[in-house]
Structure 1
Amino acid sequence: MFGDDHTIPLVLINVLGLAGIVIWHIQGCERPTGRLTVQILFFAGMSLVLYLGGIAPHQPDDAYAEGLTALLSKSARILWWTHLAWTVIGFIHIYVRLNRKPQEAHLILDMAVAAIYLGVALSVMGFVFGLPIATLVTTSGVVALILGLALQNTLGDVFSGIALTLGKAYAIGDWVQLSDGTAGRVTETNWRSTNLLTGLNNIVVLPNSLLAKQSLTSLSRPDESHLITLGVRFTAGQRPRIVEGAMRSVLEASTRIVKEPPPAVALKGIDAKAIEVELQFRVASLATGTSARNEIIDLIHDRCEASGLSLAEPA
C-alpha cells in the first residue's frame, strides 16, 4: 500500500505510538478498562501500519542505516514493542481484577510484568539495535549468579513468598496462627515479608522464608466463626444433670455467640471435690471472642446465684 518507501508508515507509527502514550496517561489509574481499550486500539493501529508498510518489527531495518529515516525506524520499532508490553500487561491486570484478587496475586503479577519488560528489552536490543542477544543473556546469567549469591536471604524470602501465594495458604484479611504462637490478621504481603495485625493492635513483620518453615493454622477457613471452650468447676455435692441444665441455659441466654451449630455442654469429669464442665460455643469471628467469653462468665455468675450452685476451688 505504501510502496517501497517506509518513511510515511514510520511517521504514522511514531505518531500513533506517542499519541497512545499521551492518551494512556490521560485515562489515569482509576480506569483500567479504558486504559486497556486505548492500548489495544493504538497497538492494533500500529500493527496494521507495519503490516501494510511491509515492515517487520522483529527484524533490523538494514535499509536505513543513518539519517532521519533510520531514527524513525528505530523509534517506531521501540514504540511498537513498548505498546505490545503494555497491552499484554493490561490484559493481565484485567484478568486479576476479574478474579477479584488483586492483593493476593500482586507477587505473581509483579513477576509477570518483570518478565514481560525483560523480554521486550531483549527484543529491542536484538531486533532494533542488532545486538547479540545470546551474549547479553550469557552475561546477564553471570551477573544474576553473582547477585544470587550476594542476596541469598532476600531471594529466599522472595521465592518463599511466591510459594505461599501459589499455595494459597492464606489471603489478605485471614486470621492465622503460627506454630510459634504468633497469631493475627494478614494485612499485607509483599516480595519480602508478610504483615500480621495482632490482637494487641501491633504489626508483626514476618520474613516469608521464616513463615514458609512454620506450620500455619488458618482461623478464617472455611469461615470466620471460631470455637471457644470454657472450663468451669462445681462442687461435687450437686447433681451433674442440674449443673448441665444450668450451663445450657447460660448458653441459650447469650447474645454474642453463634447459635448454629448449637453450643454444647460437656461433663468432663467428677471426683470427690468437683464436677468439671466444659462449655463449647462458637463466635462469629475471632475478634468477638473476648466479649463473648466475658458475657458467658457473667451469665454463669448470675445463674449460680439464682440456682444455688457453688463453684469449686481450682484443681
Structure 2
Amino acid sequence: MQQWIVPVVFILVGLLAGLIGEKVIFKKLRKFVTEKQIPGSEVIFPALNRMTFLWFVLAGFFGAIVYSSVNISNDFKILLQKIITIIFLYSVTLVLARLAAGFVNIFIRRKEGVPASLISNLAKIAVLTLGTLILLQTVGVEVTPIVTTLGVGGLAVGLALQDTLANLFSGFYLIISKQVRTGDYLKLDGGYEGYVTDINWRNTTIKEFSNNVIIVPNSRLSSAIFTNYHLPVKAITLTLDVGVSYDSDLEYVEKVTVEVAKDVMQEIAPQLIEIEPNIRFHTFNDFSIDFRLYMRVNEYFDQRIAKHLFIKKLHKRYQEEGIEIPFPIRDIYVQNKA
C-alpha cells in the first residue's frame, strides 16, 4: 500500500496546483494585465484558458510515473510517458494556434476592409498541421510516409471537394484583389444589396438594410456582376431630377437650389462641403424645364437621408421664393353640336 503513496501525492499536488493556478493566480494575473491594458493580453489569456490546470495535472501524473515504486513494467511506464507527452505537446500546439489566430485578427483589424475569419482560420489550421507533424516526429512516428500519403490522397479529396475548394480559392481571390472588403456596400446583379460583414472559407455574408442576411458562395460572387459602391472611394455623387415652371428665372433657380444643396451637405456631409453641388438644365419638357442636381454624400446609403432632406428643404424654399414646381394640366374642350 505504501508504494502508492508517492504517485497519489504527486497527482493530488498536481490537481491542487492546477486549481490554485487556474482559479487564483491566473485570474488575478488576468485582472492585473487587463487593468494595465497591456497589448496582446486580449489574445494571450483566452489562448491559455484551462491550459494552466491541464499542465499542472499532467506534471503531477508525469511525476507520479517517474518516481513511482509501483511494480509495473518499464514498457508500460514508457507508454504512459508518451501519452502524457502527446497530450502536453498537443495542448501547446493548440495554444500556439489560438495565439496565431488571435494576433492575425489584431493585425487584420488595422487593415480596413480585410475579412478576418478566412485568414485567421488559415493561420490556425497551418499551426495545428505543423504542430501535429512535429508531435508525431517527436514520439517517433515517421512523418515522410504520412506526408506522401496525404499528397496522393489529396488528389482524390480535391476531386471530391471541388465546390468547397472553388469557394475557398475564390474567397482568397476576392481578398487579394480587394474587389470586395468587409464593410463595402454591394449591389448584386440579382437585385440583392447590403453591407459585406464577412468572407469565410465557403461564402460571403451580406447584411441588408432590413437586417436580413444574404449568404453568397464565394465562387458565385467572384464570377457575378456586381456594383461596389465603396470603390474606389466611399463618397459618391447623388443625382436628383427636378423641374421648374417656364416662367421661372433660371439663374435664380440655380442659385436657390445650390444653396439648399449646400445646406443639406453641411448637415450630413460637412467634410465634403468643399466639393460644391451643381445643377445642369437638360430638357424643355411638356410642363417644365428640367434639371439634374449633383451633390456629394459620404456613402451610398446616405443617399436616402440626403434625398429626404433635400426634397423637404427645396420644396419649402421654392414656396418662400415663389418658384413653381409644375404638375401636368390637361385642358378638355367640349364641342356642342346642337
**TM-score normalised to structure 2 length:** 0.66
Please name the residue that 2:253 is paired with: 243
Please name the residue that 2:116 is paired with: 105
Match of 1:69 among 41, 61, 78: 78
Please identify the structure whose Cα radius of gyration is greater. 2
Match of 1:267 among 258, 267, 280: 280
SS of the residue aligned with 1:294? Answer: helix
Is 1:135 the equivalent of 2:148? no
Is 1:299 the equivalent of 2:299? no
AA matched with 1:299: K
When residues 65 and 101 of structure 1 are mapped into structure 2, their CA distance, relative to the original with a 3 A threshold, is farther
Please name the residue that 1:160 is paired with: 170
Match of 1:32 among 1, 26, 43: 43
8 Å contact kept, 2:185–2:230: yes
Alpha-carbon deviation of 1:248?
1.8
Match of 2:325 among 302, 305, 311: 311
Please name the residue that 1:96 is paired with: 105
Moved more, 72-81 or 286-295: 72-81
Q: How does 1:112-131 map to 2 (within 5 A)?
A: 112-130=123-141
8 Å contact kept, 1:236–1:272: no
SS of the residue aligned with 1:269? Answer: strand
SS of the residue aligned with 1:66? Answer: helix
**What CA RMSD, in Å, does the superposition of the two structures yield over aligned residues?**
4.1
How far, CA to CA, are the matches of 1:156 and 1:202 in structure 2? 26
Match of 1:234 among 234, 244, 256: 244
SS of the residue aligned with 2:109? Answer: coil
How far, CA to CA, are the matches of 1:128 and 1:65 in structure 2? 17
Alpha-carbon deviation of 1:244?
0.6
Unaligned runs of 5+ in 2: 1-9, 31-40, 54-72, 329-338
Alpha-carbon deviation of 1:293?
0.6
How far, CA to CA, are the matches of 1:277 and 1:94 in structure 2? 54
8 Å contact kept, 1:268–1:276: yes
How far, CA to CA, are the matches of 1:36 and 1:106 in structure 2? 17
Please name the residue that 2:202 is paired with: 192
How far, CA to CA, are the matches of 2:234 and 2:183 in structure 1? 10
For residues 170-189 of structure 1, what are the alpha-carbon distances to aligned partners after superposition, in whole Å with 9 as ceiling and x for unaligned?
A: 43333223455432111233
Alpha-carbon deviation of 1:237?
3.8
How far, CA to CA, are the matches of 2:241 and 2:115 in structure 1? 39
Is 1:83 the equivalent of 2:104? no
How far, CA to CA, are the matches of 2:206 and 2:150 in structure 1? 37
Please name the residue that 1:5 is paired with: none
8 Å contact kept, 1:107–1:190: yes
For residues 227-273 of structure 1, what are the alpha-carbon distances to aligned partners after superposition, in whole Å with 9 as ceiling and x for unaligned?
A: 21101122334332122112123224436442423442222325475
How far, CA to CA, are the matches of 1:272 and 1:109 in structure 2? 58
How far, CA to CA, are the matches of 1:168 and 1:158 in structure 2? 16
SS of the residue aligned with 1:261? Answer: coil
8 Å contact kept, 1:39–1:87: no
8 Å contact kept, 1:161–1:192: yes
When residues 117 and 167 of structure 1 are mapped into structure 2, their CA distance, relative to the original with a 3 A threshold, is same
Please name the residue that 1:61 is paired with: none
Q: How many residues align?
A: 279
SS of the residue aligned with 1:310? Answer: coil
Please name the residue that 2:184 is paired with: 174
Is 1:147 the equivalent of 2:157? yes
Match of 1:283 among 297, 308, 316: 297
SS of the residue aligned with 2:301? Answer: helix
AA matched with 1:71: L
Identity of aligned residues (%): 24
Please name the residue that 2:65 is paired with: none
How far, CA to CA, are the matches of 1:37 and 1:154 in structure 2? 32
Alpha-carbon deviation of 1:104?
1.8
8 Å contact kept, 2:206–2:213: yes
8 Å contact kept, 2:243–2:325: yes
8 Å contact kept, 2:280–2:292: yes
Alpha-carbon deviation of 1:224?
4.6
8 Å contact kept, 1:105–1:165: no
Moved more, 151-160 or 274-283: 274-283
For residues 51-81 of structure 1, what are the alpha-carbon distances to aligned partners after superposition, in whole Å with 9 as ceiling and x for unaligned?
A: xxxxxxxxxxxxx982203431453255235
How far, CA to CA, are the matches of 1:150 and 1:95 in structure 2? 30
How far, CA to CA, are the matches of 1:138 and 1:90 in structure 2? 29
AA matched with 1:109: S
Alpha-carbon deviation of 1:109?
1.6
